[in-house]
Amino acid sequence: MEDAQIVVPVDRTVAAARPLAANLAVKPAAGPTAVLMQVRNLNVWYETGQALHDVSYDLKRGEILSFIGPSGCGKTTALKCLNRMLDAVPSIRIEGLIRMEGKDIYSPDIDPPEYRQRFGWVAQMPNPFAETIYENVAWGARIHGLMRDQAELDAHVETCLRRADLWDEVKDILHATDGTALSGGQQQRLCIARALGTNPKVLLMDEPTGSVDPIAARQIEDLMMALRGTLTILVITHSMMGARRIADRVAVFHLGRLVEVGETEQVFSAPVSIEARNFVNGLVG
């Protein structure tokens, strides 16, 4: 079973104190199962011009990979390529190779709706439906017909809310309260629970803590760390501190190019490229 091959990232609080060679020594051996998605020479043009230039990186199973970089440098575009969210944008041109589990995601036998089901999407602004908490979380499983009966759906909703660290706060008001009536931080955790509803392999998160207060942001970061391992997370992070705390690896974008990707501590403490150095030192952005 594929989940048995999940790469459990090392505990950085321990690993960070070791020299880099020792960190590498405790990583699982690199192999085809460690890589969930491969992106090679990705170029994207909108009607207005080129947004991504020759972007290449791997997304590893079970990791948190964080995209950082100044506003407008192509992070959201790069994220939306992965689940084919940009297919419907008029006049867009996408070139390059994206593979999931070794298979080209634009291969003719890939069914886009089925393919998108492998991803959960979490936006910066919490955007629950104006429906009950229960219906928000049940939505994905309902539209994809994932559960056989009401009891299974109830159990699934509970599991998703527990994974999103929201169950204890809402278990008595599931059918009585709309998702939109919750606090900002709760709404965002509800959106995470909703995103988990289709049993995705990957969570794509576009600045998920960008519009909540610092305590709520910390709670969301904690739950992302709890989810990693069973799930792969690609997150655009506006907060350098947040990225440094939660990400296993970091990719730095600059003017539509991925200028550096590496282990979080290495990128923050000893960035190789001048663009990454300037960004992590707060000189741009």
Measure the CA–CA gap between 260 and 86, rounded to whole angstroms. 24
Q: Helix crossing, 150-163 with 184-195: angle to 10°?
A: 130
- Segment 209-248, which members bind ligand ADP (CB under 6 A)? none
Measure the CA–CA gap between 85 and 234, rounded to whole angstroms. 15
Number of residues that bind ligand ADP (CB under 6 A): 13
In the structure encoding, which two tokens stand for residue 105, read together?
A: 């995601």
Stretch that binds ligand ADP, among 55-63, 73-81, 138-146, 184-192 (CB under 6 A): 73-81
Among 37, 51, 161, 216, binds ligand ADP (CB under 6 A): 51
Q: Indicate whether 66 belongs to the interface with Mg ion (CB under 5 A).
A: no
Are 23 and 263 in contact by the 8 Å Cβ rule? The answer is yes
Among 89, 123, 125, 146, binds ligand ADP (CB under 6 A): 89
Residue number with the smallest Cβ distance to Mg ion: 76
In the structure encoding, which two tokens stand for residue 54, read together?
A: 């020759």
Q: Indicate whether 48 belongs to the interface with ligand ADP (CB under 6 A).
A: yes
In the structure encoding, which two tokens stand for residue 279, read together?
A: 């960004």
Q: Indicate whether 76 belongs to the interface with ligand ADP (CB under 6 A).
A: yes
Q: Least distance (Å) from Mg ion to the CB of residue 73? A: 9
Among 72, 102, 184, 214, binds ligand ADP (CB under 6 A): 72
Q: Least distance (Å) from ligand ADP to the CB of residue 48? A: 4
Stretch that binds Mg ion, among 7-15, 74-82, 215-223, 270-278 (CB under 5 A): 74-82
How many other β-carbons are positioned within 10 Å of the β-carbon of residue 38? 17
Q: Indicate whether 46 belongs to the interface with ligand ADP (CB under 6 A).
A: yes
Q: Least distance (Å) from ligand ADP to the CB of residue 70? A: 7
Please choose, from the candidates 249, 201, 191, the residue with its C-alpha nearest in 3D space to the C-alpha of residue 223.
191
Among 66, 76, 187, 232, binds Mg ion (CB under 5 A): 76
E-only strand ranges, the chain = 35-46, 49-60, 64-68, 93-100, 103-104, 119-122, 202-206, 232-236, 249-254, 257-263
- Segment 130-189, which members bind ligand ADP (CB under 6 A)? none
DSSP three-state, residue 10: coil
Q: Indicate whether 219 belongs to the interface with Mg ion (CB under 5 A).
A: no
Stretch that binds ligand ADP, among 57-65, 67-75, 99-107, 274-282 (CB under 6 A): 67-75
Interacting partner of 13 out of ligand ADP, Mg ion, none (Cβ under 5 to 8 A depending on kind): none
65 pairs with which residues across the strands?
234, 249
Q: Indicate whether 73 belongs to the interface with ligand ADP (CB under 6 A).
A: yes
Please choose, from the candidates 71, 84, 69, 87, the residue with its C-alpha nearest in 3D space to the C-alpha of residue 37.
84
Contacts of 174 (CB under 8 A, 6+ apart): 132, 133, 134, 157
- Nearest CB to Mg ion, comparing residues 23 and 76: 76
Q: Indicate whether 117 belongs to the interface with Mg ion (CB under 5 A).
A: no
Per DSSP, 29 falls in state: P
Residues that bind ligand ADP (CB under 6 A): 46-48, 51, 69, 71-77, 89
Residues that bind Mg ion (CB under 5 A): 76
